[in-house]
């Protein structure tokens, strides 16, 4: 009998099969995707009901022997940290699905790859052993590669080549590290036991240096694929955009799973290099957001800044916070951060598409789609620190702790944060109502009441997280 974590991995795969064999003459594939994600959210809530949030180790652990080989055991389990991230991912993908245009809902391949991606990232978050961790880490590449290839927009061939080279190199580096671990352990190993391995110092440095490089290859950090900002700005499909922005989360999660237990001591001489690269990328990426008028550039700059902020916090603040306390602080932030950014993606792309179709002035958007524009303004303010969600307190704590650790690093982070705030606020300035008259402005579709109710529900969830991030834990 499958336990709930295993069922959560298999559920999107089952949804993928139903999507592939659904009829083409209706929105069956779309409705199956909605039902699958809704069912997954219900299972996540059920897991939270049974989860002991005070317990630090993985719970509901389930092991599988591969081909009856006792040396290769696949193990899955959950904790509050991984389950919070997964709930944020489910909410962001649900928001992206709701924001799909009627034409996009007809693409069965889009919906099927989305379900497959969800299964992979669920398995990655629940992996308790080195083999399954690697398998799902590598498997995430396939749906992302296919989605960028089909819906990546302009210059997608160059994007695909760069995307494939960097990510495939990261997979190979992690595989080499896995082979070395397997050699010294003589079998598969649980993630929490890796710190107990006795490897020569040189081998340990090679292993954990390779692990770090594989995770950095997933994060848009200089000198890795910071160029992805030019890729993502051409994606006009909200579901693909959200999925691409979730990829850096896999690299960040890898750091947070390994750093305090194994990596830090082995590669401590190189920590300063990682910190410098993070700070350079922060400033560089927010300048991109300032320079470009398109909101998708600004939003990607904002998302990348926060991923790098979380990475800096994980690397630097272990001496100030306990590891578990810091990780939960970041998990609470990401849980609210993902739905906020996915909502902004959906609202902006829909407004942009509506203005392109009806040839209205984007700067006068408040005159033509007031409900959608007001929601957009509110979510931008939440993203920038309006005290409505857990993001407000947790970001304040992280930035304050960075100042306490190093005043110079704190200044660089605050400078980048100020720039990205200006970039996001500029979007609200250009949305001002210029009272321009256009023909047939009555044909411009504002947000529907059903979608409005959904986004108000998201606001309610964010509001509850401000008072208690685990309010759904009864």
Residue 61 lies in a domain: no
Residue 398 lies in a domain: yes
Predicted model pTM? 0.91
3-state percent helix, strand, coil for the chain, nearest multiple of 5: 75, 5, 20
* Helix pair 141-151, 156-185: axis angle to 10 deg: 180
Residue 404 lies in a domain: yes
The three-point CA angle 185-187-192 to 5° equals: 65
Residue 290 lies in a domain: yes
When divided into structural domains, the chain yields a total of 1
User: Which residue is listed with tokens 């993985």?
Assistant: 58
Contact 348, 298 (CB under 8 A): no
pLDDT means per 10 residues, the chain with 474 residues, are 81 91 78 92 91 81 70 82 92 93 85 93 90 88 83 63 77 84 72 70 78 83 65 79 89 81 65 85 87 85 90 77 73 90 90 71 69 87 84 81 86 90 86 58 74 91 85 73
Residue 383 lies in a domain: yes
**Which token pair is 284?**
């560089």
Residue 51, SS3 per DSSP: coil
Residue 95 lies in a domain: no
Q: What is the pLDDT of residue 1?
A: 46
Residue 417 lies in a domain: yes
Q: Return contacts of 66-71, CB within 8 angstroms, 24+ apart.
A: 66/131, 70/187, 71/186, 71/187, 71/188
The Cα 404–Cα 408 span in angstroms is 10
Residue 282 lies in a domain: yes
Structural domain of residue 411, as residue ranges? 270-474
* Residue 55, C-beta contacts closer than 8 angstroms, at least 6 positions apart: 79
Cβ neighbours, 10 Å, residue 138 = 19
Q: What is the pLDDT of residue 70?
A: 56
**Which token pair is 471?**
């309010």
**Does residue 106 have a cis bond before it (omega within 30 degrees)?**
no
Q: What is the pLDDT of residue 231?
A: 66
Q: What is the pLDDT of residue 116?
A: 94
- Residues 281-327 have pLDDT tens digits of 889 888 888 888 888 888 888 998 999 999 888 888 765 666 567 77
Residue by residue, DSSP assigns 367-393 as HH-HHHHHHHHHHHHHHTT-TTSHHHH
* Residue 181, C-beta contacts closer than 8 angstroms, at least 6 positions apart: 130, 189, 194, 197, 207
């Amino acid at each position: 009998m499958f336990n709930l974590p295993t069922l959560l991995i298999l559920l999107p795969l089952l949804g993928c099969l139903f999507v592939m064999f659904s009829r083409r003459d209706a929105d069956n594939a779309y409705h199956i995707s909605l039902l699958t994600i809704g069912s997954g959210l219900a299972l996540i809530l059920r897991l939270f009901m049974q989860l002991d949030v005070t317990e630090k180790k993985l719970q509901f652990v389930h092991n599988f022997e591969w081909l009856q080989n006792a040396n290769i055991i696949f193990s899955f389990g959950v904790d509050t940290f991984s389950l919070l991230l997964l709930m944020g991912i489910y909410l962001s993908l649900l928001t992206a699905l709701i924001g799909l245009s009627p034409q996009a809902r007809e693409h069965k391949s889009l919906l099927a790859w989305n379900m497959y991606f969800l299964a992979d990232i669920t398995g990655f978050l629940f992996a308790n052993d080195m083999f399954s961790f690697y398998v799902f880490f590598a498997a995430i590449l396939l749906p992302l590669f296919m989605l960028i290839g089909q819906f990546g927009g302009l210059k997608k061939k160059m994007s695909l080549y760069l995307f494939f080279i960097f990510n495939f190199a990261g997979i190979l580096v992690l595989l080499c590290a896995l082979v070395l671990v397997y050699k010294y352990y003589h079998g598969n190993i649980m993630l929490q036991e890796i710190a107990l391995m006795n490897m020569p110092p040189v081998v340990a440095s090679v292993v954990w240096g390779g692990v770090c490089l594989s995770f950095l290859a997933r994060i848009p950090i200089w000198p890795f694929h910071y160029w992805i900002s030019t890729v993502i700005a051409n994606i006009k499909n909200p579901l693909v955009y959200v999925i691409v922005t979730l990829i850096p989360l896999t690299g960040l999660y890898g750091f947070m799973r390994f750093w305090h237990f194994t990596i830090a001591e082995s590669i401590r001489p190189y920590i300063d290099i990682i910190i410098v690269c993070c700070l350079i990328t922060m400033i560089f990426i927010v300048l991109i957001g300032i320079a470009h008028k398109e909101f998708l550039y600004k939003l990607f700059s904002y998302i990348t800044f926060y991923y790098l902020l979380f990475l800096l916090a994980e690397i630097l603040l272990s001496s100030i916070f306990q590891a578990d306390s810091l990780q939960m602080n970041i998990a609470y932030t990401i849980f609210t951060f993902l739905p906020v950014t996915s909502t902004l993606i959906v609202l902006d792309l829909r407004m942009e598409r509506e203005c392109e179709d009806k040839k209205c002035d984007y700067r006068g958007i408040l005159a033509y789609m007031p409900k959608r524009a007001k929601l957009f303004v509110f979510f931008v303010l939440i993203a920038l620190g309006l005290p409505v969600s857990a993001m407000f307190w947790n970001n304040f704590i992280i930035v304050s702790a960075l100042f306490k650790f190093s005043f110079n690093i704190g200044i660089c982070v605050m400078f980048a944060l100020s720039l990205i705030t200006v970039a996001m606020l500029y979007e609200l300035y250009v949305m001002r109502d210029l009272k321009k008259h256009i023909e047939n402005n009555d044909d411009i579709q504002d947000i529907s009441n059903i979608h409005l109710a959904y986004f108000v529900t998201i606001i309610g969830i964010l509001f509850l997280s401000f008072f208690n991030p685990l309010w759904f834990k009864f």
